[in-house]
Amino acid sequence: MSALTKARFANPELAFEDLLRSAARIIPLSKTMKEEVDHLRNWARDKAGRGVDFVLAHRRDAVGVVECQWNVSAFDATALQVFRSYYPKGRNYLVSPSGEPGYAKRFGAHEVRVCTPSELRA
């Protein structure tokens, strides 16, 4: 049962704790549909195996790129550079749970906004 449904039965207000309880019971697609997810990952990469993590389609001529990395210093911008050679317009994000305030950093010719997941959502 979803958090929203449970909250409506128990209380008319949806609480953050309701969402956390429901999220804890979710089985990720990476486990339930592993073969399909692996197929999509392979399809989304170029012949050299490069690919960006997420694409945000804002407009037809501008797409955002989101790369996820535990350690910002370990980020390899090669896939971003290849992607931007095909789609030059859009914002670039590097999301990391570092806890540091967001900042801009250059990787070659591309400016990337380094931020936490909550800053990306804001």
User: Which tens digit of pLDDT belongs to each residue from 57-109?
Assistant: 877 788 889 999 998 999 999 989 988 888 899 999 999 998 889 999 999 99
Q: Residue 105: what pLDDT? A: 95
88, 106: one domain: yes
Q: Which domain holds residue 30?
A: 1-43
Q: How far is CA 1 from CA 23, 28, 122, in A?
A: 11, 16, 28
Q: Residue 44: what pLDDT? A: 56
- Asked whether the predicted pLDDT for residue 113 surpasses 80, the reply is yes
33, 11: one domain: yes
% pLDDT > 70, the chain: 77
% pLDDT > 90, the chain: 25
38, 52: one domain: no
**3-class SS at 21?**
helix
13, 66: one domain: no
Q: Average pLDDT for residues 25-31, to the nearest whole number?
A: 77
110, 60: one domain: yes
CA distance 77 to 69: 11
> Do 99 and 69 contact (CB within 8 A), yes or no?
no
Question: Average pLDDT of the chain?
Answer: 80
Q: Residue 7: what pLDDT? A: 58
22, 68: one domain: no
What the block records as the tokens of 21 is 């309880």
Q: Residue 20: what pLDDT? A: 82
Total domains present in the chain: 2
Who has greater pLDDT, 108 or 45? 108
